[in-house]
Every structure is written in structure tokens, then in C-alpha cells.
């Protein structure tokens, strides 16, 4: 896995449940782009990594991968299919819609491999392939609202499911849903829903007050343990967590006070904070996974960024507070007793912690050029990302 930069971007359904992940990848020798001469090699590399070197179920949380293919790799895969029944191959917009490609799509479909057309436009040669595929992906940034509506109306008669790409706000998600799109790709679910003078809803305000107490350096471990003990849900989930495989504790932990002793004050603050923030049922489960992945990856890379591991983890953990609370990060942090270095990192991406968070978010987006400019070693990032993703998927399922 260290030879290929790899990331995943969620694809959600109309209920904001994860349907699959597009696998983003680059040859580390050419991280800013996938040059034509190296594209076949890079595609083959990621396929090998996915199906031989990587624990795919852990990395993808049991969901299906969507993978971009060059023409040559598409033809090769059609002759020697892998991932039957779970893989979705994406035919890129620069792949010619010729007889070879059409034949390859038909063979893949016969073998049980699903096919998507990427960055689809009706006025291109890919229109002739549309009746053959399972998914049609539309980059909503390539059209005005009127153009997008016209595209969606004409595509509605196709057998393929419509997938909207680069959906970055809730408003865009709602509009695309109205147009008949069934699947959505982008980090719209990780953006706050904000309006002018919006107050933090009561249930979120209660959680925020709890988190503020948890993060208050004046509150000792005994008081924190009492605070957790007063909340049945928090107590249950904390005990479930500490008795899971994530903590190398051989004894059965039956009380919050014993958990507090074993975790220590910083561990207790961190894990109860996470459990508290994961309470919101109206937020997609994927937001919890993204939060945990960021926190773990920031923690793993913290030392190389000049930070303590727990400081890196905390910055990653709080990086989605604005989305969880549906308000601006500045407003949320005004209620929390955090160090200025953490506050500056979260609001302005300032200092070493801010630079680290920028790196982790760039990896989420597959912004390989930014990562190269930041000077990170590709193999180190790839290993940290895979470890963090697998850890987050399993922990989210446990808690």
C-alpha cells in the first residue's frame, strides 16, 4: 500500500447512508496528476492493492468501491474480471466510446461487474454507452442550474441510476434530489447548515455544555467520572468501548470510576467527548467516520508535525464541530475552553496543528499536489490513512 497514494470519497444515497466509495489514487512518482503514460500502471496498481494487499472489507466498511479505469485497463479487466458482484468500474470521459469499449462494458456486465460513466454529458460520444451502464455520474459544477435540470430530465428515461458529483452543500444536495438523482458524491454532509443569527439548537447546546465541562482543565478526574455516571447513555457506551478490542485491558471494566482510572483524565475527556458528539441521529453516520478518521490520522502524524499525539487527535476530533452543531466553527468554539493553538488551528488552520489538519483534509479530497508541496512522504501518508480509516470503521461499528 505504501507505493500508491490512496483515498476514498463517500457516495451517499437519498437518506445520506453510504452506498459506496470512489477510490482516489495517484502514482507517488506523479502525485499531481495521472499522466497518460503512467495511467495504466497507476490503475493496475490500485486494483492490485485493493484486491490483494488491502483488507478491503475493513478499509471500505463493507461498501462497494468505484474505481476509474483507463481504456487499456478496462479491456484487461473485461478479459480477467475481479471484484465480481461488488466492484463498480468508472469509464472516464476521455475514454473513447468505440466498439472495443462497448464490447468490454457488455462483457463486464455479463460477469456481474457494474459500470458507471464518469463526468457524463449528453452532447458527447458517451451518450451511446448510456443505455448499457448501471450508473451515470454528472459533475454538477459543469452546468448551470437550468442546464443541470435539462440534463436530469433527459437522463430520467435511462435505466442507469443518476449520481451527482461534487455536491458540496446541503442546498445542492436537496436540489439534485428534487431533480431525481439517487446518489450523491461530495462532502456536503460535512458542511454546517447555517443561516444568519442561527442559534445552536437546544439538544446540541446541551451536548456542547457537556463537552465544555469535559474539556475544562479545572475539572478533575473524579468530577468527570461523576459527570459521566449521571448519564446512562454515556456510561453504557463508554463501558462498551473500554471493554472492546480497542483497549488492551484484560479485566472486565464494570464501573465508570474504574474506566476513569484506566483511561486517565485525558483519555476520559477524549472518549467521552467523542461519544457525546456522536449522539445526533439527524447526522449521517459517515460524518462520525470522517471525524474519527481525521482524529486518528492527525494523532498518527502528530509527532512528525511537532505536536503531541493527543493534541493532534483533539484537533482532528473537533474539526467537524461546525457540521455537527450546524453553525460556524467560530461560534462553536466560543463555548469551549480550548487552548489558543487548538482554536487557531480549527478556525484559521494556523500553526503546526492547522497545517497538519490541512494535510489530512487534503488527503481526504485526493489533493495530491498540495500534499507534495507540503513535503510529506507519500508512503507515510498512505499507511496512516489506511490505518486511520480501518480503525474508524471498526470503532464506529463498536460504539
3-state secondary structure the chain: CCCCEEEEEEEEECCCCEEEEEEEEECCCCCCCCCHHHHHHHHHHHHHHHHHHCCHHHHHCCCEEEEEECHHHHHHHHHCCCCCCCCEEEECCCCCCCHHHHHHHHHHHHCCCEEEECCCCCCCHHHHHHHHCCEEEEEHHHCCHHHHHHHHHHHCCCCCEEEEECCCCHHHHHHHHHCCCCEEECCHHHCCCCCCCCCCCHHHHHHHHHHHHHHCCCCCHHHHHHHHHCCHHHHHHHHHHHCCCCCCCCCCCCCHHHHHHHHHHHHHHHHHHHHHHCCCCCCCHHHHHHHHHHHHHHHHHCHHHCCCHHHHHHHHHCCCHHHHHCCCHHHHHCCCCCCHHHHHHHHHCCHHHHHHHHHHHHHHHCCHHHHHHHCCCHHHHHHHHHHHHHHHHHHHHHC
The answer on 214 and 96 residing in a single domain is no
The answer on 204 and 149 residing in a single domain is no
The answer on 255 and 181 residing in a single domain is no
The answer on 152 and 242 residing in a single domain is no
The answer on 70 and 57 residing in a single domain is yes
Closest alpha carbon to 118 in 63, 72, 67: 67
Considering the domain boundaries, does residue 335 fall inside one?
Answer: no
- pLDDT band per the 50, 70, 90 thresholds, residue 36: very low
Residue 37 has pLDDT above 80, yes or no: no
The answer on 140 and 213 residing in a single domain is no
Q: pTM for the complete prediction?
A: 0.86
* CATH number assigned to the domain comprising residue 94: 3.20.20.450
How many residues in total does the chain contain? 399
Closest alpha carbon to 64 in 10, 122, 105: 10
Considering the domain boundaries, does residue 306 fall inside one?
Answer: no
The answer on 210 and 166 residing in a single domain is no
The answer on 140 and 33 residing in a single domain is yes
What separation in angstroms does the CA of 368 have from each of 322, 345, 357? 26, 21, 15
Last residue of a domain, one of 190, 224, 244: 190
3-state secondary structure 278-296: CCCCCCCHHHHHHHHHHHH
Considering the domain boundaries, does residue 294 fall inside one?
Answer: no
How far apart, in whole angstroms, are the C-alpha atoms of residue 13 and residue 268? 35
Considering the domain boundaries, does residue 291 fall inside one?
Answer: no
Considering the domain boundaries, does residue 205 fall inside one?
Answer: yes
Residue 27 has pLDDT above 90, yes or no: no
Last residue of a domain, one of 280, 312, 346: 280
Last residue of a domain, one of 253, 280, 307: 280
The answer on 161 and 52 residing in a single domain is yes
Q: Dihedral sign, CA of 89, 187, 354, 374?
A: positive
The answer on 276 and 181 residing in a single domain is no
How far apart, in whole angstroms, are the C-alpha atoms of residue 222 and residue 261? 9
Q: How much is the pLDDT for 86? A: 79
Q: What does the pLDDT look like over 69-120, one tens digit per residue?
A: 888 889 888 887 766 677 899 999 999 999 999 999 999 999 889 999 999 9
Bridge partner list, 25: 6
Q: Which domain covers residue 53, as residue numbers? A: 5-190
Mean per-residue pLDDT for 42-65? 74
Considering the domain boundaries, does residue 124 fall inside one?
Answer: yes
Task: Choose the most confident range, by mean pLDDT, from 60-69, 239-248, 266-275, 348-357.
Answer: 348-357
Overall domain count for the chain = 2
Q: How much is the pLDDT for 70? A: 85
Q: How much is the pLDDT for 376? A: 87
Q: Which residue has the higher pLDDT, 378 or 295?
A: 295
What separation in angstroms does the CA of 33 have from each of 7, 12, 63, 137, 187? 15, 26, 27, 21, 22
Return the minimum-mean-pLDDT range out of 6-15, 196-205, 307-316, 327-336.
196-205
Amino acid at each position: 500500500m505504501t507505493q500508491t497514494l490512496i483515498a476514498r470519497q463517500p457516495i451517499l444515497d437519498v437518506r445520506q447512508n453510504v452506498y459506496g466509495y470512489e477510490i482516489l489514487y495517484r502514482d507517488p512518482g506523479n502525485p499531481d496528476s495521472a499522466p497518460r503514460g503512467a495511467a495504466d500502471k497507476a490503475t493496475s496498481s490500485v486494483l492490485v492493492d485493493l484486491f490483494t494487499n488491502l483488507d478491503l472489507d475493513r478499509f471500505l466498511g463493507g461498501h462497494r468501491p468505484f474505481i476509474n479505469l483507463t481504456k487499456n485497463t478496462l479491456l484487461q479487466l473485461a478479459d480477467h474480471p475481479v471484484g465480481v458482484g461488488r466492484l463498480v468500474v468508472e469509464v472516464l470521459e476521455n475514454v473513447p466510446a468505440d466498439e472495443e469499449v462497448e464490447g468490454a462494458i457488455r462483457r463486464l456486465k455479463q460477469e456481474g461487474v457494474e459500470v458507471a460513466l464518469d463526468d457524463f454529458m449528453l452532447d458527447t460520444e458517451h451518450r451511446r454507452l448510456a443505455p448499457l451502464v448501471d450508473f451515470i455520474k454528472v459533475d454538477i459544477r459543469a452546468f448551470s442550474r437550468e442546464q443541470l435540470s435539462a440534463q436530469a430530465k433527459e437522463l430520467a428515461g435511462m435505466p442507469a441510476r443518476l449520481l451527482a458529483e461534487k455536491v458540496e452543500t446541503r442546498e445542492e444536495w436537496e436540489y439534485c434530489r428534487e431533480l431525481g438523482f439517487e446518489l450523491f458524491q461530495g462532502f456536503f454532509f460535512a458542511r454546517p447548515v447555517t443561516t444568519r443569527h442561527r442559534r445552536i439548537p437546544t439538544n446540541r447546546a446541551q451536548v456542547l455544555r457537556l463537552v465544555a465541562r469535559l474539556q475544562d482543565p479545572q475539572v478533575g478526574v473524579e468530577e468527570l467520572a461523576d459527570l459521566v455516571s449521571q448519564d446512562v447513555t454515556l456510561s453504557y457506551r463508554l463501558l462498551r468501548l473500554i471493554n472492546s478490542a480497542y483497549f488492551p485491558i484484560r479485566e472486565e471494566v464494570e464501573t465508570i470510576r474504574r474506566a476513569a482510572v484506566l483511561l486517565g483524565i485525558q483519555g476520559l475527556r477524549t472518549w467521552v467527548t467523542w461519544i457525546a458528539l456522536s449522539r445526533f441521529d439527524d447526522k449521517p453516520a459517515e460524518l462520525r467516520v470522517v471525524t474519527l478518521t481525521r482524529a486518528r490520522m492527525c494523532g498518527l502524524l502528530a509527532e512528525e508535525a511537532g505536536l503531541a499525539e493527543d493534541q493532534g487527535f483533539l484537533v482532528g476530533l473537533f474539526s467537524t464541530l461546525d457540521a455537527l452543531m450546524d453553525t460556524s466553527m467560530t461560534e462553536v468554539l466560543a463555548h469551549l475552553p480550548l487552548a489558543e493553538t487548538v482554536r487557531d488551528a480549527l478556525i484559521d488552520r494556523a500553526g503546526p496543528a492547522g497545517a497538519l489538519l490541512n494535510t489530512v483534509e487534503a488527503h481526504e479530497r485526493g489533493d495530491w499536489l498540495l500534499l507534495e508541496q507540503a513535503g510529506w512522504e507519500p508512503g507515510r501518508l498512505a499507511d496512516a490513512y489506511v490505518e486511520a480509516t480501518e480503525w474508524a470503521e471498526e470503532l464506529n461499528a463498536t460504539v
